Structure 1
Amino acid sequence: METVIENKGLIENKALYEEIMQKAKRIGETAELGALEADNNSTISQCVADIIREEEIHRLILPKEFGYPQLDWRTFVDMVSTVGYYNLSASWLTYFFSAHNSWVCYYPKHIRDEVINQGGFVADVFAPVGKVEPVEGGYVVSGEYHFVSGINFCDWVGVGAIMQFEDNDKPERVGILLKVSDLELIKNWDPLGLRGTGSNTLIVNEVFVKPDAILRFSKIIEKSQPPYEDFDQDYLYYNTPFYPGFYVGFAAMAVGGAERVVEEFEKHTAGRVRFTGVNEKDSPTSQRVLAKLKIEMLSAKALLTEYITMMETDKGGPYEGAKYKAIRAEIIDKCTQIGVKALLTLGGHALLKGHPVELFTRDLIAIGTHITSLYEDGMLGYGRHLFGVNTNIQG
């Protein structure tokens, strides 16, 4: 296997890297062509979902025993960023349909193998709002779950709840694996940005599950490896703190989207003529803004590389979860501000519905509102951590 180190980080297999970037470009370009339709319909098209499946993107970070080319972190991150350069809703789902198999790999093998071999996309919404009641042979689960991204195309979903176990004196947050066919889907997704993600609502009404369908996140926090023996020692998620690895895609897609905004700003500024007849590219204002956007872009990329380096260094032992969260929040905030600054500087024509800067800025703002991206939370948590306060932030 060819291993190369470039300015952008460690790439284990350069030929595979180039192949994956072409797959990402195909997904992104197709999604970009249907961006306005996806925005209006509040979901990507079936065509885009089919390409993600056809290119086997949801297989790329499975353990190698399944026969697919498990990616390194740099390749995975750049794949998500590449799709994000063309369309952030498609990038969001490309990332999720890949990453969601990771927590499936912590289930007992018979469950893991059933889900993976069935081949369906997996969604999740782990907000612990579910109600779990013990019954003979297992549990009955009920709850109303919002923001279930990509659920329109998924066969499986993980939902969250709080449960008490005999070996722990405190209640725990858990994930519960369900078949989407057993649930009610309400198509009510109508947000400011990331409209193409189709993040609709699920109703779980007294669905029976066996005990082995319950995933205890506390066990993953304690140990990055799964509870069974004979697991893939090289698997990506078994060799890094789980939560930083699970959340890295949010920063990755933001970088891709912000890079597109900078290019659009430069292009539209170069072709813009004021009422006075002055070419905007000759304006000191736009010249300074472009310089600032470029520097912020470099800074965001450098922070993302640092994040990847940390994941490659932390091998499942003690790690600074608050630092990961702060870096990710800083990256996403920089990218969001790139969008806002570009939009405000370009003026009214960039505000028109469907203008690339308008669309990407709305999507970047939406990424920044995700619970794992909130800037003030990230900075406060890291500051408390630096002063020795136990924040219990997992990444």
Structure 2
Amino acid sequence: MPNTVLDAINEHAEEIRALGPANESLGRLDDQTAKVLRETGAIRMLQPKTYGGLELHPREFAETIMRIAACDGATGWVAGVVGVHPWEMAMADPRVQEEVWGEDNDTWIGSPYAPMGVLRPVDGGYVFNGHWQFSSGTDHCDWLFLGAFLADKDGNRLNPPRSVHVVLPRSDYEIIEDSWDVVGLRGTGSKDIVVKDAFVPEYRVIEYSKVVDGTLAKEAGLTNPTYRLPFSAAFPLGITAAVIGICEGALAHHMAYQRHRVQITGTAVKDDPYVLYAVSEAAAEIAASRSALLDNISQLHDMVAAGREVTFDRRAVGRRTQARAAWRAVRAVDEIVARSGGNAMRMDNPIQRFWRDAHTGLAHAIHVPGSVFHAAALTQLDIEPPNGPMRSMI
């Protein structure tokens, strides 16, 4: 079955590229960029068919995000982050789904999932407070998933802690306008969110543990294997796909720029075997990153489709693969940028923007390799990693 969203993105590729500088200048996606994403169906790839979604294979989702990000990093990043939220919304209480998509199935849902809020129980629900950073694409979203901890009636966090995702409408939170002044991915508009004493009904609160272990998808009666994927595989997918796509875009711009470039030594790049070797090595590394990410998510999807459990050790290896793919691709971009010449750093040359975007994307928490690599190594030694940070992102 052809990926019609990818075909539509290819038709709009030049427009997406041309809008890149406008996104960066605005500090958010330009309205026309958001319109392109809506019209191509890019945000509905993982949305349930009951609300106009496409329920694409996660590999197709990742391939499409890579293509968008290769045209413009910020656009690809927002598509990857906002585009994964319909995956979780498919598992949510039907009342929430109707509130979000009942009148408009093109309604966007933002985040972040970091548990920076506190829910205090009251009759019928909770009172919610918190402050979050990094709400990518938030100017174009009307609802959010926000991470939080449950508290007792006095507002003290429960011990042991219980993490949840809270679904909140635009009327119940504030976007802090001047909170996104960064070196890369400026066009994502990943601004701060503040919630003050918002009432949240119980049905808009999702137990994080049920998302992680697949219980929520089972309770919702979802049979499509895409919705049975581990959260630690689905959530990072769009983000890492965007980073790899950005690296592919950097490589494409580098090649176009170098084709006729003559170095200060008088040697044309096409005649410099050292530069050509570095370019080929970088291209191979970026291609390997792409293949690793797509192969990993395809394997996980096949496991779930066959009714097999995705164990903790397999999830850890999957996260290791995903994080390493991002690092490998960005390091390859560093090699070609170092050989692009001083003019590549001029602000009118897109190479520098892709370079900045790639490094900013690599700084996301899901790309921090330390605890993930540690846990993966322990599992391969048949040693169970301890509870705590080492398991939290897996």
Alignment partner, residue 304 of structure 1: 293
SS in 2 for 1:278: coil
Instruction: State the SS of the aligned residue for 2:113.
Output: strand
Amino acid in structure 2 at the alignment position of 1:373: H
Q: Residue 392 of structure 1: SS of its match in structure 2?
A: helix
Structure 1 position 125, deviation (Å): 0.9
Match in the other structure for 2:365: 371
Return the alpha-carbon distance in structure 2 between the equivalents of residues 190 and 261 of structure 1.
22
Give, as a single letter, the amino acid of the residue that structure 1 aligns with 2:320. Answer: A
Matched, 1:45 2:36: no
Aligned positions of 1:104-115 closer than 5 A: 104-115=89-100
Equivalent of residue 337 in structure 2, options 343, 347, 356: 343
Amino acid at match of 1:133: R
Secondary structure of the 1:92 match is: helix
Residue number among 168, 171, 176 corresponding to 1:181 in the alignment:
171
* Equivalent residue pairs, number: 377
> Given residue 219 of structure 1, which amino acid in structure 2 is its aligned partner?
K
CA displacement 1:149-189 (0-9 Å, x = unmatched): 11101100111111269xx9732111111111222111121
- Contact kept in structure 2, 1:158 and 1:178, CA below 8 Å: yes
Q: Distance in 1 between matches of 2:376 and 2:219?
A: 34
User: Aligned partner of 1:117: which letter?
Assistant: G
Q: In the alignment, which of 178, 188, 201 is matched to residue 197 of structure 1?
A: 188
2:80 is the alignment partner of 1:86: no
Answering whether residue 149 of structure 2 is matched by residue 158 of structure 1, we say no
CA distance in 1, matches of 2:248, 2:47: 29
1:109-129 C-alpha deviation (Å, 9 max, x unpaired) = 121222122432100111111
The answer to whether the 8 Å contact 1:28/1:91 transfers is no
Are 1:170 and 2:160 counterparts? yes
Verify the 8 A CA contact 1:64 1:232 in the aligned structure 2. Answer: no
Which runs of structure 2 are paired with 1:67-86 in the superposition (5 Å)?
67-86=52-71
What TM-score comes out, normalization by structure 2 length?
Answer: 0.89
1:234 is aligned, of 209, 213, 224, to: 224
Is contact 1:64–1:235 with CA below 8 Å preserved after alignment? no
Distance 1:311 1:361 in 2: 31
User: What is residue 155 of structure 2 aligned with on the other side?
Assistant: none
Within 1, Cα distance between the matches of 2:372 and 2:352? 26
> Where in structure 2 are the equivalents of 1:202-217 lying within 5 Å?
202-217=193-208
- 2:274 alignment partner, one of 285, 295, 301: 285
Inter-partner Cα distance in structure 2 for 1:69 and 1:134: 37
Segment drifting more, 369-378 vs 194-203: 369-378
One-letter amino acid of the structure 2 residue matched with residue 314 of structure 1? M
How far does residue 35 in structure 1 lie from its aligned partner after superposition? 1.5
1:100 corresponds, among 70, 74, 85, to 85
Pick aligned residue for 1:330 from 320, 324, 331: 324
> Is the CA contact (8 Å cut-off) linking 1:27 and 1:48 kept in structure 2?
no
RMSD: 2.2
TM-score, structure 1 length as denominator? 0.89
Matches of 2:230 and 2:48 in 1, distance apart? 16
Counterpart Cα distance in 1 of 2:151 and 2:189: 33
- Secondary structure of 1:215's partner? strand
CA contact (8 A) 2:91 2:222 kept: no
The one-letter amino acid of 1:135's match is V
Between 1:315-324 and 1:291-300, the stretch displaced more is 315-324
Is the contact between residue 48 and residue 55 of structure 2 (CA under 8 Å) also seen in structure 1? yes
TM-superposed CA distance for 1:235, in Å, is 5.4
- Single out whichever of 355-364 and 101-110 deviates more from structure 2: 101-110
Code of the residue aligned with 2:175 in structure 1: it is L
Q: Any gaps of 5 or more consecutive residues in structure 1?
A: 1-12
Give the whole-Å Cα distance in 1 for the aligned partners of 2:176 and 2:151: 30
1:359 is matched with 353
Distance apart, 1:34 and its partner CA: 1.9
The gaps in structure 2 that reach 5 residues or longer are 153-157
What residue number does 1:10 align with?
none
Task: Kindly provide the amino acid, as one letter, of the partner of residue 277 in structure 1.
Answer: G
Do structure 1's residue 61 and structure 2's residue 46 form an aligned pair? yes
**Residue 318 of structure 1: aligned partner:** 310
Structure 1 segments, 4+ long, off by >6 Å, are none
Query: How far does residue 91 in structure 1 lie from its aligned partner after superposition?
Result: 0.6
**Partners of 1:132 and 1:140 within 8 A in 2:** yes
SS in structure 1 of the partner of residue 110 of structure 2: strand
The structure-2 alpha-carbon separation of the partners of 1:86 and 1:224, relative to structure 1 and needing over 3 Å to count, comes to: farther
Change (3 A) 1:51 1:372: same
Superposed counterparts of 1:215-226, under 5 Å: 215-226=206-217
Q: Provide the rounded CA distance (Å) in 1 between the counterparts of 2:371 and 2:274.
A: 33
Aligned to 1:274: 263
d(CA) in 2 for partners of 1:293, 1:139: 51
Question: Does structure 1 retain, via aligned residues, the 8 Å contact 2:68–2:76?
Answer: yes
Contact in 2 for aligned 1:326/1:381 (Cα 8 Å): no
Shift of 1:314: 2.9
TM-fit CA distance, 1:394: 5.0
